[in-house]
Amino acid sequence: MSGNPPLIVNTKCECGHQNPVGTVLCEACGNPLLDGADSARPLEMRYDGKARRSQKTNPGVIDRVWNFFSSVKIAIYLIVLTLLGSTLGTVFPQESTFLHIDPSTYYKQRYGTAGDIYYRLGLSHTYESWWFITLLVMIGASLVICSLDRVLPLYKALSRQQIRKHRRFLTRQRVALATKVAEGPEDWVSKAVQPLKKQGYRVMTDGGALLAEKHRFSRWGPYIIHIGLIIFLLAVLARGLPGLHMDQHLAFPQGEIVHIPDTSYYLVNERFTVEFYKDEEMPEEFRGKKVLPKLYETKAVLYECTADCGDPSREPKLAKVASHAIQVNDPLSYKGMKAYQFDYDLTPVLRSVTPKLVNSATGESYGSFKLEMKNPQRSFTAGPYTLELKEKYMEFGLSEEGKPISKSPYPNEPAFFFLIKGPKLPAGGEPYFYFPKQNDKAEFQQDAINDKLGGQGRFLELEVGDMSGVDVSESTSYLNVRVDRAMPFVWVGAGIVMLGLVLGFYWQHRRIWLTVGEGELTLGAHTNKNWYGLRREVSSFLKKMDINADEKSLENGGDPA
Amino acid sequence: MSLLDFSNDVFIAAFFLYSAAFMLFTIAIMGRRWSGREPEEHSARWGRAAFIASSLGLLCHLAYFFTRWAGGGHIPVSNMYEFMTFLSMMVMVAFTVIFSIYRKILLGLFSVPISIIVMAYAAVFPQEVQPLIPSLRSIYLNIHVTLAAFGESFFAVAFAAGLMYLLRTVNFNSSSKSDKRQQRGVEFTLFIIIVIIGFLASVFAFRGAGYETVFIRSNVTVDNPGQKDSTIEKVSYKMPPIVAPYHSEIESFQSILGIKKPLFEAPFWMKGVNAGRKLNTVIWSLLTGAVLYGVLRLLVRKPLGRALQPVLDGIDEGDLDEITYRAIAIGFPIFTLGALIFAMIWAQVAWGRFWGWDPKEVWALVTWLFYSAYLHLRLARGWQGRRSAWLAVLGFLIVMFTLVGVNLVIAGLHSYAGTD
């Protein structure tokens, strides 16, 4: 097939059938068209020798793209490149494995020059890089086009099979036999039907010719695999679309209701438990040396907001919709949203205090009020006094200009700034700083600050009498809240891949053709895999027909390629 | 006797039965040309005995597995020791499946030793039954790990058949350039296997002798300006240190052959205190392997590949090619289901993402892509025979890297598997 192609290719077979350009074996009788009548090599049986779209003469631009992606060679290059590209991403940990790093300095500090080069080449995010995504998209294109280019001709070839085949088609199969038989053609063939049927073949006869076939469906295996892979790849790509995917890590202090951002859901961690294995549950070698966790569990209740949701001035109305004991390997799941056990923190977190307003001179108490760390009320009353909350600082600190600021939104070192109004106080009110935690009170010198702010006559103090005035959540559970609407398609794709794999690999398409004429039986057999099994089957069939053919003797030259 | 004691005993019985089966397979093949025998009949008789021995071994192995399961309260695939013993068992199951299809006695000669080596490798790791940490407490531990190992074990049988194909067909008498390359390739593959045996030999020899040397290293890191944070890391060598960890001091040193200190220090880029120990193990394995290889070469006085070739005389190479392909064709769907699909399902349930490009996940994908390329090359590009056999050999090396290498060299989410 080298040199200039002739202007008009004669593709008409000697049996009279007109074949399209690119046909290897005549569509009707199977006569090999491309090589001479004297060749004895086993036939190339792929797609039953039918022409494919990619073998069109005079290709245009679209044809050229089609031809590129329809090539199995290209597909293999793409697979190998993806394979090599993937391995590069495992040399050093990917950026995505860390929650808080600055990659531009991290890789250099941790891994030296090699790490720096790794980062600069963009390999620290290999799997998000443009070339890797391009490879995956190209594999997707190759999957579609390779399959279409082959499955259609194959389908046509297999659904329109002629029973009587050209002699050269039979003798040049990888499993072939030509031997003398005494009986007449039709008698021999009709006798052959039963044993073949017993071996599970569908048998069709045409006078002295016979075609036996089984497990044709296994030929569709590869294409089913490819369809599954395409669905899988599309589903993976769809995860990038807005609204289909949500992923957040949230802290849930025990006993506190927390709104899940961007949703109408609220989740409360009613109780978080960590359990460790007791000594008697551990092997002797570990006792007293190792501590192994046994269970992390968050008893969670999920609420949905039913009214007044977006309105900051009103309490949202919540309805309980689900509850679940979340464990590792056992998330809470509600309408496609899932909450996974991710991490925990056993440091107690202050939730609210109930201080009393007292007169430091007389010891007289004016009453108490509950001060929530999160969303506190704006004003409180204690006896004749009102306390207006002006500022709150969850983690108290001073800015570079010396102004009070909050360093984080977590109530680690909370501080509150009040304006107290009432009897014997200035008309504008008396400013008062309050640190609910005893250590903070000392560390930040609450008294000194207030003395400075309130002056000499200051007599009011906020005090927490005992622990009954302090409400603490014992622990915090960190949950990973996710929505992944594309997941069903991922699983469907994977399921289809598995179906195709099983059909394609655990069954084989086997065909046996034979013709009897002029006192001679000519037999050819083909399978897409497991030749060993086919030879054994043909040999045992021939034995039943009183022809002794050793399995090995049926083999007709080795590989077709 | 407790269940776990019984379990350990039958495990050792399985090991010895496999070793006996290996010897019987050797006799079945090597003894064909002994005088006064019909080769066919000899092979058939000894081959049957060998297969019975290997099947009894597999029964013992299964008994180990289920009694350990019952005694430990969870499926024994949760750490390196358990996984490797399971993998060796699955290699025997895969061998039994393929053997019952093709009835090639020679397959035993090459598959059984793979199982024995994997079993011995398992014994390198701590053997006690550990309770499961929360992330492993899942039904998917049973499904994902077992199916992945089962699929991989068919790749192991394909490796054995592929290597046999190469030993059978490579022309050891030719000195043409391409034949030379094939010869060197086969010899290198055999050398690698001997290095692994060398690794096992050195581990067990020094363990038997109770060798230990301890290094300490203090790390000082500066967290905040003026605030130093120092930690002390300790590493215990179970093999004499040729290489000490980078920037470390000796805490206790057991001298051997009059050597009182390590010969070298690990290079600076090996930062982890364990990196030096791993490098030391690699050096010992290479040394022992090289010595073993040298002794074998002296004994047979020719390249090992050439020495092994006559063993395979008269074996049909087409059958070996077919077995290689068939084993991969059977293993590939199982591997896909176990190592990828159930891995994704478990990852989705445990971590909320079905795929996270963790090194172990990536290497499972690499293995899958490699065997997909193999199948495309074979089915659509007609790569059969020697090229296909080389791919089967290389493929199993990738499998082993995924199982062992990733845990040793690259850390990741799967590092809790207890690698040492």
Question: What distance in Å separates residue B271's CA from the closest CA in chain A?
Answer: 9
List of chain A residues whose C-beta atoms are within 8 Å of the C-beta of residue B333? 498, 501-502, 505-506
Q: Which of A294, A490, A529 sits opposite B329 (nearest CB)?
A: A529
Q: Which of B138, B341, B369 sits opposite A498 (nearest CB)?
A: B341
Q: Does residue A235 sit within a domain?
A: no
| CA atoms of B21 and B48, how far apart (whole Å) | 10
Q: Which of A284, A340, A531 sits opposite B351 (nearest CB)?
A: A340
Kindly state whether B368 is in contact with chain A, defined as any CB-CB distance less than 8 angstroms: no
Q: Does residue A63 sit within a domain?
A: yes
| Proportion of chain A above pLDDT 70, given as a percent | 95
| CA atoms of B345 and A283, how far apart (whole Å) | 31
Same-domain pairing of A141 and A283: no
Same-domain pairing of A4 and A56: no
| CA atoms of B208 and A90, how far apart (whole Å) | 36
User: What is the pLDDT at residue A75?
Assistant: 93
Mean pLDDT of A442-462: 81
Cβ of A73 and B381 within 8 Å? yes
Same-domain pairing of A433 and A363: yes
Q: Report, in angstroms and rounded to the nearest whole number, the Rg of chain A calculated over CA atoms.
A: 40
Q: Does residue A514 sit within a domain?
A: yes
Least confident of A86-90, A410-414, A521-525, A544-548: A410-414
List of chain B residues whose C-beta atoms are within 8 Å of the C-beta of residue A236? 355
DSSP state letters, B127-162? -SPPPPPGGG-SHHIIIIIHHHHHHHHHHHHHHHHH
Closest CA to B106 of B407, B323, B355: B323
Same-domain pairing of A101 and A185: no
Q: Which of B102, B318, B354 sits opposite A490 (nearest CB)?
A: B354
Same-domain pairing of A360 and A454: yes
Q: Does residue A237 sit within a domain?
A: no
Tell me if B334 sits within 8 A of B343, measured CB to CB.
no
Is pLDDT of A1 > 60? no
**CATH code of A168's domain:** 3.30.310.80
| Proportion of chain B above pLDDT 90, given as a percent | 48
Range B265-272 contact pairs with CB under 8 angstroms and sequence separation of 24 or more: B269/A111, B269/A112, B269/A114, B270/B245, B270/B246, B271/B246
| CA atoms of A302 and A71, how far apart (whole Å) | 53
Name the residue of chain A whose CA is nearest to B269's CA: A111
Q: Does residue A86 sit within a domain?
A: yes
| CA atoms of A414 and A437, how far apart (whole Å) | 8
| CA atoms of A417 and A436, how far apart (whole Å) | 11
What's the complex ipTM? 0.88
User: A36 is in which domain, residue-wise?
Assistant: 1-40
List of chain B residues whose C-beta atoms are within 8 Å of the C-beta of residue A555? 318
Same-domain pairing of A332 and A480: yes
Helix B317-335, helix B80-102: angle, nearest 10? 130
Q: Which of B352, B354, B382 sits opposite A561 (nearest CB)?
A: B382
Name the residue of chain A whose CA is nearest to B348's CA: A329
Is pLDDT of A496 > 90? yes
Same-domain pairing of A400 and A545: no
Same-domain pairing of A395 and A445: yes
Same-domain pairing of A362 and A444: yes
Same-domain pairing of A128 and A64: yes
Q: Does residue A190 sit within a domain?
A: yes
**Backbone phi, then psi, for A519, in 5-degree steps?**
70, 15
Chain B contact probe: residue of A329, A338, A499, A537 with most B CBs at under 10 A: A329
Q: Given CA atoms B69, B75, B79, B85 in this order, what sign does their dihedral have?
A: positive
Enter the pTM of the model: 0.86
Total count of domains within chain A: 5
| Final residue before a domain boundary, out of A408, A432, A463 | A463
The neighbouring-strand residues paired with A512 are: A212, A525
Cβ of B135 and A531 within 8 Å? no
Least confident of A176-190, A202-216, B237-251: B237-251
Tell me if B324 sits within 8 A of B167, measured CB to CB.
no
Same-domain pairing of A269 and A328: yes
Mean pLDDT of chain B: 87
Kindly state whether B125 is in contact with chain A, defined as any CB-CB distance less than 8 angstroms: no
Burial class of residue A244 in the structure, from the number of CB atoms within 10 Å of its CB (0-12 exposed, 13-18 middle, 19+ buried):
middle
Same-domain pairing of A35 and A72: no
List of chain A residues whose C-beta atoms are within 8 Å of the C-beta of residue B357? 89, 94, 96, 126-127
Interface size, chain A vs chain B, as Cβ–Cβ contacts under 8 Å:
150
Q: Does residue A20 sit within a domain?
A: yes
Q: Does residue A402 sit within a domain?
A: yes
pLDDT (tens digit per residue) in A294-334: 899 999 999 998 888 877 778 888 999 999 999 989 999 99
Burial class of residue A374 in the structure, from the number of CB atoms within 10 Å of its CB (0-12 exposed, 13-18 middle, 19+ buried):
middle
By residue count, chain B amounts to 420
| Proportion of chain A above pLDDT 90, given as a percent | 27
Chain B contact probe: residue of A247, A505, A527, A552 with most B CBs at under 10 A: A505
pLDDT (tens digit per residue) in A268-296: 999 999 988 888 888 777 777 778 888 99
Helix B146-169, helix B105-122: angle, nearest 10? 130
Q: Which of B346, B354, B377 sits opposite A76 (nearest CB)?
A: B377
Is pLDDT of A120 > 80? yes
Is pLDDT of B409 > 70? yes
Cβ of B337 and A498 within 8 Å? yes
Chain B contact probe: residue of A41, A47, A70, A79 with most B CBs at under 10 A: A79
Return the H-helix or E-strand segment holding B387: helix B386-400
